[in-house]
Structure 1
């Protein structure tokens, strides 16, 4: 079951359960669309790609609540892009 994390790991933008802006990698690292663009669609944690995070239906939130844990780990964009170029 997806955690549905509440914010972007890079910029800390709020990403509620119904956000159209939320993107996740295979390990559910969560970023907003703007940050995914900056990261050139490559997760800085695992190197995988991103997909749009599914929206959990509101009727299921009581039974399957979303995460309240904020993961805030701003990315050194320059270092990330340099690493991508060297691969």
Structure 2
């Protein structure tokens, strides 16, 4: 199950569970669409993979399967 991380690992922008701007790679590294299109140039700095829009978990499932609250921020971001 996806963690649904709460922020962009590059700019620390909040990415709520229903955000259409959240992007993930196959390892669930999470970034905002602006950072993916801009400084990251579509390549994950952690694993070298590409990105896809993060799926939205149905609201009815969030109570039982909540999103992560752990914020991850890279020390350096391209």
The bucket for the TM-score relative to the shorter chain is: over 0.9
The answer as to whether partners of 1:44 and 1:75 remain within 8 angstroms in 2 is no
Structure number with higher helix proportion: 1
Q: How many residues align?
A: 77
Q: What stretches of structure 1 of length at least 5 have no aligned partner?
A: 78-87
Q: Normalising by the residue count of structure 1, what TM-score does the alignment of the two structures yield?
A: 0.85
Change (3 A) 1:14 1:49: same
Whichever of the two has the greater Rg, that structure is 1
Aligned with 1:31: secondary structure? strand
Q: Which residue of 1 aligns with 2:3?
A: 3
Whole-angstrom CA distance in 2 between matches of 1:47 and 1:76: 13
Q: What stretches of structure 2 of length at least 5 have no aligned partner?
A: none
RMSD: 0.9
